Amino acid sequence: MQTLTDKATLIEAARNLGRELKELPEYKTFLEAQEAFNNNKEVNKLVQTYNALVPKLQQQQQAQGKPDDTLMKQYQYLSHQLETHPEIHALMNAQKDWKKRLESVNEELSEKLDIEFATMAKPESGCC
């Protein structure tokens, strides 16, 4: 019987898990949605415009206490466009479903290993 005590066996077990995860429908759907998002010039321009506007809005808010009405209307318009765009919506849903599936895999691993797998694998982030 093989155990996970030697490094080669552990690496092979991790590779097998990775291969199986890549076969899950949630992963495939996520990749397709991500590809559609990345290949859509309209969506990318919309995101870039939004990302460029947000710091301007924040700077204006800090400097003047409130943002310019024109910038605020532009921000609201762009926010609405992002929230309602079908490809962005599809990507967000696919991402949510994929994350949910990974959380269930983590729960199963944690149960089988008798440790909080993902929690233990997180990088340290400060003090306590």
Q: Give 53-65 as a DSSP string.
A: HHHHHHHHHHHHS
The residue range of the domain holding 105 is: 25-116
Residue 35 lies in a domain: yes
Q: Is residue 72 part of a domain?
A: yes
Angle between helices 25-39 and 86-113 (to 10 degrees): 150
Cβ-proximal residues to 34 (8 Å cutoff; 6+ apart), any chain: 91, 94
pLDDT single digits (tens) 66-100 = 878 999 999 999 999 999 999 999 999 999 999 99
On whether residue 6 sits in a domain, the answer given is no
Express each pLDDT in 98-108 by its tens digit.
999 999 999 99
Spatial separation of the C-alpha atoms in residues 7 and 15, rounded to whole Å: 12
10: Cα separation from own chain's centroid: 27
Report the CATH number that the domain containing residue 51 is assigned in CATH. 1.20.1500.10
pLDDT, one tens digit per residue, over 40-60 is 999 999 999 999 999 999 998
Tokens of residue 33, six digits: 């949605």
* CB 52 within 8 Å of CB 46: no
For the chain, what is the domain count? Answer: 1
